[in-house]
């Protein structure tokens, strides 16, 4: 059986009562010990005082007989029964209370006075004092005992009173602690009920925050932050799904339309070649789109391995530029690469090259005829920097914050007619960040754009050879 309470408030109450019970137990034990010592000290003081009061009452008559002369006391009696034994040092008993008996041997302490506890023949526990007393040329030993029964009776009464109060105090504390815990955890119940109502269709709901400065308020704010991020992720997923569906539908529709037109024709072979060529163009476009979607999907899932190696950054940039020289020549454009050839970075060659290819490809597409596309490699503050500058139409400031979002297009510079699906720069951003870098956009409308990639610099060679 699981005996652990289900509710937190019950566990808090039990812990509170247990801790309070432990504290009260220590308090009762300490108070009882102090009370017992205090009562014992009072009894010892009374005993010493009565011994001093007894000494003037002792005398020897002219005939040599021993006598005790009663003296009226100024202080009331302590209530403890008194036992007396008076004898000469050689052992002759001069006076003895019957119950005290001779079983208790006299003991002398320092300066001829001692105190100790003893037990009489009838079982009575007493506090016994022994003291020498000079009477002329004779020395007697006075033993005076007081019953400890009043002491223990007072101690038991006080201990019973405290032990009776402890359960009552624990009961009151338990009820108060439970009410306090329930009140303190009430906001948590409200948050739990609200959280149960939040579904995928109600991600815009938020938990109530009664006091943002306490621990429960902090918990609510953290949970609301998680809901905000989850809502953004769901919205991004919906947008991604809608955009992907739209992008896939466009080439499929084109393929179907061209195919239907081709079936209705009964022309020459050259006509069918044109139709098949158009269909293959759409298939190629569809293939690129699927490959881009697959790359992003693997990147999100973390299934793309990053194989780092030390490579010369300039060699990698020239390699990416060389893949696009044919496209640039078709538009009579110039691809210029300049900078420090000795910079070495640690990165995945294929993934980072794809990032450079995508940016340079965009620069070629959106730059005018006979334009110059500049790629500059440099270093600053321990980072390798690659600037890719084009002479395209530029990107307005309101679009720059979203330019790396998936399927996002700027009407002038990222149209579907130019062949893009709005995934190229998303892949670029992932590729750069996967290699420990970051990408920035510097652009003004109608003044071209500069994409700046910053990568961690491993070293800068000086007349050395690096195997990439």
Domain identity same for 251 and 330:
no
Report whether 193 contacts 222 (CB < 8 A): no
Domain identity same for 245 and 322:
no
Beta strands in 238-370 (DSSP E): 309-312, 334-339, 343-347
Domain identity same for 398 and 267:
no
In a domain, 441, yes or no: yes
Give the end of a domain, one of 155, 170, 192: 155
135: left (phi over 0), alpha (psi -120 to 50) or beta: beta
Domain identity same for 346 and 296:
no
Give the residues of the chain that fall short of pLDDT 50.
1, 72-76, 103, 109-110, 412-417, 463-468
Domain identity same for 408 and 346:
yes
In a domain, 114, yes or no: yes
Domain identity same for 423 and 321:
yes
Q: Dump the DSSP string for 74-100.
A: SS---S--EEEEEEETTS-EEEE-TTT
In a domain, 145, yes or no: yes
Report whether 434 contacts 352 (CB < 8 A): no
Read off the tokens for 93: 């008993």
Domain identity same for 333 and 423:
yes
In a domain, 169, yes or no: no
pLDDT tens, residue by residue, 43-75:
889 888 888 888 888 888 777 778 777 654 444
Domain identity same for 416 and 432:
yes
**Backbone CA torsion sign across 42, 48, 49, 54:** positive
- Residue 410's pLDDT is 67
Picking from 312, 322, 420, 321, the residue whose alpha carbon sits closest to that of residue 365 is 420
Report whether 160 contacts 135 (CB < 8 A): no
- Residue 74's pLDDT is 47
In a domain, 367, yes or no: yes
Domain identity same for 57 and 147:
yes
- Residue 181's pLDDT is 82
- Residue 109's pLDDT is 47
- Residue 103's pLDDT is 46
Euclidean distance between CA atoms 48 and 152, whole angstroms: 19
In a domain, 171, yes or no: no
Give the end of a domain, one of 272, 301, 330: 301
User: Which residues fall within 8 angstroms of residue 373, CB to CB, at 6 or more apart?
Assistant: 328, 333, 334, 335, 336, 360, 363, 364, 367, 388, 389, 390, 391
Euclidean distance between CA atoms 159 and 31, whole angstroms: 9
Domain identity same for 130 and 232:
no
Give the end of a domain, one of 256, 281, 301: 301
- Domain span at residue 87 reads 8-68+77-155
């Amino acid at each position: 059986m699981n005996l652990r309470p289900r509710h937190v408030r019950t566990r808090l109450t039990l812990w509170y009562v247990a801790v309070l019970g432990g504290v009260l137990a220590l308090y009762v034990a300490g108070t009882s010990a102090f009370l017992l010592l205090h009562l014992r000290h009072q009894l010892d003081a009374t005993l010493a005082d009565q011994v001093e009061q007894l000494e003037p009452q002792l005398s020897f008559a002219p005939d040599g007989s021993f006598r005790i002369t009663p003296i009226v006391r100024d202080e009331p009696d302590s209530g403890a029964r008194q036992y007396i034994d008076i004898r000469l040092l050689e052992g002759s008993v001069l006076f003895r209370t019957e119950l005290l008996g001779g079983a208790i041997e006299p003991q002398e302490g320092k300066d001829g006075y001692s105190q100790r506890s003893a037990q009489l023949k009838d079982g009575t526990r007493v506090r016994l004092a022994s003291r020498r007393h000079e009477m002329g040329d004779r020395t007697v030993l006075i033993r005076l005992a007081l019953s400890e029964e009043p002491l223990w009776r007072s101690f038991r009464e006080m201990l019973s009173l405290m032990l009776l109060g402890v359960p009552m105090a624990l009961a009151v504390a338990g009820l108060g602690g439970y009410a306090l815990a329930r009140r303190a955890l009430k906001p948590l119940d409200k948050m739990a009920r609200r959280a149960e109502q939040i579904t995928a269709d109600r991600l815009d709901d938020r938990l109530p925050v009664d006091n943002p400065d306490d621990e429960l308020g902090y918990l609510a704010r953290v949970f609301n932050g998680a809901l905000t991020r989850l809502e953004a992720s769901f919205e991004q997923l919906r947008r991604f799904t809608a955009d992907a569906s739209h992008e896939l539908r466009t080439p499929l529709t084109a393929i179907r339309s061209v195919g239907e037109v081709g079936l209705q024709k009964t022309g020459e072979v050259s006509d069918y070649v044109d139709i098949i060529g158009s269909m293959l163009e759409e298939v190629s476009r569809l293939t690129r789109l699927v490959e881009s979607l697959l790359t992003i999907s693997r990147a999100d899932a973390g299934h793309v391995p990053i194989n780092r190696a030390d490579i010369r950054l300039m060699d990698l940039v020239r390699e990416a530029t060389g893949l696009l020289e044919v496209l640039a020549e078709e538009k009579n454009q110039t691809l210029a690469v300049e900078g420090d050839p000795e910079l070495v970075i640690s990165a995945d060659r294929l993934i980072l090259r794809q990032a450079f290819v995508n940016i340079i490809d965009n620069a070629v597409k959106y730059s005018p005829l006979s334009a110059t596309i500049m790629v500059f490699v440099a270093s600053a503050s321990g980072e390798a920097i690659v600037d890719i500058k084009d002479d395209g139409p530029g990107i307005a400031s309101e679009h720059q914050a979203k330019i790396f979002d998936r399927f996002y297009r700027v009407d002038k510079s990222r149209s579907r007619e130019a062949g893009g699906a709005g995934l190229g720069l998303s892949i670029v951003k992932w590729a750069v960040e996967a290699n420990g870098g970051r990408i920035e956009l510097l652009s003004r409308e109608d003044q071209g754009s500069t994409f700046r990639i910053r990568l961690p610099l491993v070293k800068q060679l000086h007349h050395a050879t690096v195997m990439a």
